[in-house]
Amino acid sequence: MTCVIEEARSAAEWDAFVESHPGGTVDHLYAWRTIFENVLGHQTAYLIARQDGRVAGVLPLVLVRSRLFGRSAIAVPFLNYGGMLADDETVGEALLASATERARAFGATHVELRHVNRQFHRLPFRQHKLGMRRELPPTTDALWSAVDRKIRNQVRKAQKEGLEPAIGGAELVDEFYSVFAENMRDLGTPVYPSALFAETLRLFPDRAKVAVIRHKGRAVAAGVVITFRDVVLNPWASSLREFRHLCPNMLLYWTLLEQAVRDGAHVFDFGRSSPGGGTHQFKLQWGAVEVPLHWEYVLLSRAEPPNQGPSNPKFERAIRAWQRLPLQVANVLGPRIARHLP
Q: State the pLDDT at residue 311.
A: 62
Number of CB atoms found within 10 A of residue 148's CB: 11
pLDDT at 318 over 90: no
- Quick one: average pLDDT of 253-282? 95
Which domains are present in the chain? Answer: 3-129+293-308 (3.40.630.30), 131-291 (3.40.630.30)
Q: What share of the chain has pLDDT > 70, as a percent?
A: 98
Residue 276 banded pLDDT, cuts 50, 70, 90: confident
Q: State the pLDDT at residue 268.
A: 98
- How far is the CA of 183 from the CAs of 49, 243, 313, 322, in angstroms? 41, 12, 21, 12
Q: State the pLDDT at residue 316.
A: 81
For residues 259 and 267, what is the distance between their CA atoms, to the nearest angstrom?
12
- Quick one: average pLDDT of 291-295? 95
**pLDDT tens across 213-236, in order?**
999 999 999 999 999 999 999 999
What single DSSP character describes residue 309?
Answer: S
- How far is the CA of 164 from the CAs of 104, 143, 322, in angstroms? 52, 20, 31
Q: How many helices (H) and strands (E) does the chain have?
A: 11, 15
Asked if residue 183 lies in contact with residue 213, where contact means CB atoms within 8 angstroms, the answer is no
Asked if residue 209 lies in contact with residue 259, where contact means CB atoms within 8 angstroms, the answer is yes
Q: State the pLDDT at residue 313.
A: 66
Q: State the pLDDT at residue 333.
A: 93
**pLDDT tens across 52-93, in order?**
989 999 999 999 998 788 999 999 999 999 999 999 999 999
pTM: 0.93
pLDDT at 199 over 70: yes
